[in-house]
């Protein structure tokens, strides 16, 4: 199975892909703001890189790096975060250029990210949290707003999207049919406080839409701004025996703003 992927997400801008019928009517207003390449930008594509923050496994470093057209996140069973009950290898934010030139998602704005991900069968769903994408307020100790997670439900491996603030499940599907292949992700968020927010989550396996779920009237804002995170962030409290040395690949990351 090849782990190289080229070309933009197939149906990324081709149809009614907004958060609501009003958004869909203005699909042409999605403006691309971010289009890094792993080979050209490397880790400079991101605002920050959280690679073994506790220096727990120097022999495994770097855990996060660009390889060909992909960004790769390695996770070993011995890796530990600064909180030693969990593991974290993540990148944050959408950087354009250098310095403080990164995109800021603020209240009232609507943003979209599309990308492809390769989840090997070694990266399994767990009984406790395993997040592979988060939306968070920047800063130490801040709570997640949205999480895309690999979770065991009644013994079944699934991938899901939840609104973490109010513990709202947006969508969920079986993970095992998506292992060891490239899956396209289209995630959209209106940043809104209280009931002013919206999200849409689409997963495609080739030409097949596996998930297309939306929630409106939800809380997607805490304070300051919303910042995306990608990588592997998982608890060591799994009781299913699913924690293995593993990795995650991402490619074709794109960011759009509805303007």
Kindly list the structural domains of the chain, giving each domain's residue range(s) and its CATH number in brackets, ordered by start.
21-212+224-258 (2.60.120)
- Is the pLDDT reported for residue 2 higher than 80? no
- Other CB atoms within 10 Å distance of the CB of residue 168: 14
Residue 5 is predicted with a pLDDT of 58
Residue 129 is predicted with a pLDDT of 98
Read off the pLDDT of residues 88-128 as tens digits, 9 standing for 90 and up. 999 999 999 877 899 999 999 999 999 999 999 999 999 99
Place of tokens 């991101």: 46
Q: To which H or E segment does residue 161 belong?
A: strand 156-163
Residue 15 is predicted with a pLDDT of 41
Residue 3 is predicted with a pLDDT of 60
- Is the pLDDT reported for residue 248 higher than 80? yes
Query: How confident is the model over 188-213, as a mean pLDDT?
Result: 98
Read off the pLDDT of residues 126-181 as tens digits, 9 standing for 90 and up. 999 999 999 999 988 789 999 999 999 999 999 999 999 999 999 999 999 999 99
- Is the pLDDT reported for residue 1 higher than 60? no
CA 6 to centroid of chain Cα atoms: 19
Residue 140 is predicted with a pLDDT of 83
Residue 159 is predicted with a pLDDT of 98
Mean pLDDT (the chain, rounded): 92
Strand order in the sheet with 86-92: 48-51, 86-92, 227-235, 130-136, 144-153, 156-163, 168-174
Residue 167 exposed, middle or buried by CB count within 10 Å (0-12, 13-18, 19+): exposed
Least confident of 14-28, 144-158, 169-183, 187-201: 14-28
Does pTM top 0.85 for this prediction?
Answer: yes
| pLDDT band at 11; cut points 50, 70, 90 | very low
Residue 9 is predicted with a pLDDT of 45
C-alpha angle 164/166/167, rounded to 5°? 55
Of 47, 51, 50, 54, nearest to 63 by C-alpha is 51
């Amino acid at each position: 199975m090849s782990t190289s992927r080229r070309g933009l997400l197939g149906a990324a801008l081709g149809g009614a892909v907004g958060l609501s019928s009003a958004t869909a009517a203005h699909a042409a207003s999605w403006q691309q703001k971010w289009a890094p390449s792993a080979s050209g930008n490397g880790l400079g594509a991101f605002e920050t890189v959280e690679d073994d923050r506790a220096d727990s496994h120097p022999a495994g470093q770097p855990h996060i790096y660009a390889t060909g057209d992909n960004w790769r996140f390695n996770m070993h069973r011995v890796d530990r975060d600064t909180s030693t009950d969990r593991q974290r290898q993540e990148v944050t934010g959408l950087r354009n250029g250098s310095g403080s030139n990164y995109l800021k998602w603020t209240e009232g704005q609507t943003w979209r990210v599309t990308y492809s991900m390769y989840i090997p069968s070694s990266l399994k769903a767990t009984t406790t949290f395993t997040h592979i994408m988060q939306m968070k307020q920047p800063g130490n100790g801040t709570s997640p707003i949205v999480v895309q997670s690999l979770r065991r439900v009644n013994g079944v491996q699934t991938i899901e999207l939840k609104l973490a603030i109010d513990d709202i499940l947006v969508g969920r599907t079986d993970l095992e049919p998506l292992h060891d292949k490239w899956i396209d992700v289209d995630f959209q968020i209106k940043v809104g406080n209280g009931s002013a927010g919206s999200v849409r989550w689409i997963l495609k396996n080739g030409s097949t839409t596996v998930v297309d779920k939306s929630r409106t009237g939800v809380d997607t804002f805490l304070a300051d701004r919303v910042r995306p995170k990608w990588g592997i962030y998982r608890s060591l409290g799994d009781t299913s025996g699913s924690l293995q040395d593993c990795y995650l690949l991402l490619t074709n990351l794109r960011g759009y703003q509805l303007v």
